Structures are given as structure tokens and as C-alpha cells.
Structure 1
């Protein structure tokens, strides 16, 4: 005969494993539109009892205050013992411009040439108008501080400004994949690398995660592994 305590434990585990209730996901607007929604769309449609809330913001969101189940964060590393982090993919930074801009302005052959150009400054980035890069063949490090007269706190806005020929812009490759494939934006200084990041799915540290979180993590990992 199963004890009342054991019955209670079984019931709790059953509830934990049901893909129902609410799931709160935080991400940036550009990652949400370009990657997180495509990754989770079919999965969401298959689970009608699961209510999903997306908080899309370029600023840091406190997971406890906002009751976040999964946060999508980009960082060289996650060093917080209260969090569990799951790497999804490596992310390259690129310095890009439109073909129109490059035709109408001085050629860019070395980092020193950047002094003759304008950078569209994305203010949410640390040291937004400072470009650090490493020459691929020699591993020589270079730091350039570029001039800026156009500023924005929005990646979509910066992408549009760059496509319209207003300057160079430093972007995450995954945020401008379509523009690179279409040729609307092209990489400059291809012999140099900018610092890269890792895209993480982050959860609060628990002994056992609810099934809705573990399943969501599985779907995200599968999507980014395939792309």
C-alpha cells in the first residue's frame, strides 16, 4: 500500500512533468524575433496548456523579481552560483557596412583606416565606439576608437542605419545573418577577428527543473545546434 507521503510525492512529480502552467522567457528583441520565436514556435503550438510570456528587453532583467524561467543571455561566461547556464552557440562579432557606403568612402585595408570612418554607435554595448580586434595570421591585438555621430540603443535601428549607408556598425553575426546573405551588409577587415561571445540559456539553480523548462531547453539546444 502506498503511503500518503509517497502519494503526495508522486502527485508532485506528475504535476512537475506536465507541460502546463506558465513559462516566462526573457531575451533581447532581435534574438527573440530572429531566433527564439522560430526555435520555439512549433513546440509552443504543440502544447496548448502552456502559457508563454516573452520579455524582450536589451537591459538586464532580474530573474527572481520578474519570475523568469529561462533567460537568454550573451556573455563570455556566466559566473553566478545561483544560476545554471546552458551554452547554445558561439557568437561572432563583425564590423560591417553597406556596399553603398564602402563605394562612397575611403577604402578600409587596415584598422588604422577606420579613423576615416563613422561608426553607428549602439549604446547598449560596453565601450560602444571602441573596436578591439586580433589579426588572424599574427594574433596581433589592435584597439581603435572610432568617431561616432549617430547613436541608438536598438539593434534593429542600427541595422537599418547601416543598410542605408550611414556608417559602419559593430554587430553580432547572428543578428544580421539575413543581411549578410542578401549582400545588404558586408564584413570589413575580414583578416581580423573581434571578441566573440557565447549565447546561454540561463535558469535559476534548482535540484530538479520542471519539465516545461527542461523541454524548452532541449528545443533551444536542438535549434541552435542545427543552425
Structure 2
């Protein structure tokens, strides 16, 4: 038997057996009768066995041909089912949606949006992993990542969902004995809660109403390794920090935090959906659309 068998001939062989004749098989396959016969002859040559006994009026499977046909029919059926499943996955959300986000944004935004999404797609299972390190989507088998800020260069695909503001805040308790700062020049005298994962956690550039910029270096009083921890420290009076709007809006509205020097702006960060592959499956496309609508409804 040849070590290489042309697998396309398997489909011709199965079609021939199903049709019952070379003429009928040729019509089904859209090829000539001679070509069907040639494919069969080459397949028998590659296998080193006779599959079909032919006469002028009929064709009959040999014992080897009958066994081989059953196996080929099963293989082709499984291949067709796999192709259909892939197509279905591209058209209708199914399976498990495995996604990752940072602990702060994942808790405050992604989890509520995902819970709402699940009510609309009860056939889907979800696996939400919150982590403050940048996950390898391919190695860790994630379908999707929601990433904040400024994206690194990569081979992954991304869709911008929106943006968030960075706000300078402190608790009323911390400000009680000091008063609110009136200018940027006062910031270095305040206790600063820094975020360790930033490249320059103590240097911040503010934009004034007239468009001018000023960079201020803060004095660190405490450091946290993620935004959730920094938020907790600030809320409990440890000092001043810059935190994302989605995390502090409720605190500001309910008086647990106070925005400082609101006339100055800090750079806005992006909210991105990041995924591997050019054609994300339907479950990924559906959640991206849902999260975009969810964010729009919150503004």
C-alpha cells in the first residue's frame, strides 16, 4: 500500500457506492464517468486492494471494499459535522466564553455586563478570570480580554469600546485637617497613594483649561499593586491618588470621595476588547456588541 493516499478519492468512492453506478456518481459529482473510474482505479492502486468488482451491467463491493466504505462514510460524516459546527459557531453564540479583565474593571463593569449578557444567551457558559497581569490569550486559551489604558503592540486584534477619565481624588476624612489643594503646586505636599504597575507612578501631567501642560512629581506615602487596593487606601484616608472614573463615580456622588482640582484634565485611557484570530466566533462578537451597548447606556 502506498504511504500517501489522496483523501479526495475517499469522497469519490463514497459517492460512487451511494449512487450505485459510475454514471450516476459522475452526475452527482459534476465530473465525467471516465474521471470517476480513474479516481477509483488510483485509489485501489494506492491502497493495494480491489474495492469494486465491475461488469458491463453492475458493480459490486469486495469484502475489503465494503469494510473500507463503512469507515470512509463515517470519516466523511464526521468531517461534515465538524464543518457544520464551525459554521454554526460563527453564526450563533455557543460553547464557553472564556474572558479576562483587570480586577477593578472586571468587578465594577465587566461582571455586571456579563451577567446581563448571560440572561440573553442561556445556552452559553462563561468563565471570567480577573487578573492585573497581561494574560497571554493564546497560551491561556482566552477568547477575549478587556484591557484598559494604552495597548501594547501585538499580533492580536482589538476593538475600542470607549474611554475612561482619570480623576484626582481624596477622602473627606483625609482632607478634613488639611483642606483641599487650590493649585498643582500643593500636590507634592500631600500624601500620595501610588500604583506600582504604572511605569511612572509618581509623575503626572495635567492639562489646564488653556491647554497648557504641567508635570508634577508626587511624594509617596503608600503604594498598592492594583487599582482596587489603591482605591481602598484612598477611601480610608491614606492619601490622594488618581483613580479611574468607573471606580469612583459612585463614591463621589455619595460623598465618600472628593474630586480635586477638577479644572485640570489628565489623559483619558481607552477601553479595548482584544482577541486572537481574524474572525472571532459568534460568542465573542456577541459579547463585544453587548458590552459596547452596556457602556453606552451607562453614560
Q: What is the TM-score normalised by the length of structure 1?
A: 0.89
User: In structure 2, which of residues 253, 260, 263 is the aligned counterpart of residue 191 of structure 1?
Assistant: 263
User: How far off is 1:11 after superposition?
Assistant: 4.7
Instruction: Please give the per-residue CA displacement for 1:19-67, whole angstroms capped at 9, x wherever unaligned.
Output: 2222111101111111001112122134343221111111111111111
The residue number in structure 1 matching 2:119 is 45
- 2:290 counterpart of 1:219: yes
Determine which structure has the larger strand proportion and give its number: 1
2:163 is the counterpart of 1:117 = no
The answer for unaligned runs of 5 or more in structure 1 is: none
Higher RCO (C-alpha under 8 Å, 6+ residues apart): 1
Q: How does 1:1-227 map to 2 (within 5 A)?
A: 9-77=83-151, 79-80=153-154, 82-136=155-209, 138-206=210-278, 208-227=279-298
Partner in structure 1 of residue 5 of structure 2: none
Does structure 2 conserve the Cα–Cα contact (< 8 Å) formed by 1:88 and 1:225?
Answer: no
Structure 2 CA distance for aligned equivalents of residues 178 and 94 of structure 1: 13
Between the aligned partners of 2:94 and 2:250, the Cα distance in structure 1 is 34
Are 2:89 and 2:282, in contact at CA under 8 Å, matched by a contact in 1? no
- In 2, the alpha carbon distance for the partners of 1:7 and 1:87 equals 36
Q: Matched residues in 1 for 2:235 and 2:160: separation?
A: 31
Q: Provide structure 2 residue ranges, at least 5 long, that are not aligned to the other structure.
A: 1-27, 31-75
C-alpha separation between the residues in 1 aligned to 2:229 and 2:88?
46
Please tell me the root mean square deviation across aligned C-alpha atoms, in Å.
2.3
- Corresponding residue of 2:20: none
In 1, the alpha carbon distance for the partners of 2:146 and 2:211 equals 31
User: Which moved further from structure 2: 57-66 or 39-48?
Assistant: 39-48
Moved over 6 A (4+): 1-6
CA positional deviation for 1:2: 9.6
SS in 1 for 2:135: coil
> 2:143–2:275: 8 Å Cα contact kept in structure 1?
yes
Where 2:256 maps in the other structure, the secondary structure is: coil
Larger Rg: 2
CA distance in 2: counterparts of 1:154 and 1:11, whole angstroms = 41
Q: Distance in 2 between matches of 1:15 and 1:219?
A: 17
Q: Distance in 2 between matches of 1:166 and 1:116?
A: 14
Q: Would the alpha carbon gap of residues 101 and 2 (structure 1) be closer, same or farther in structure 2, given more than 3 Å must change?
A: farther
**TM-score, normalised on structure 2?**
0.69
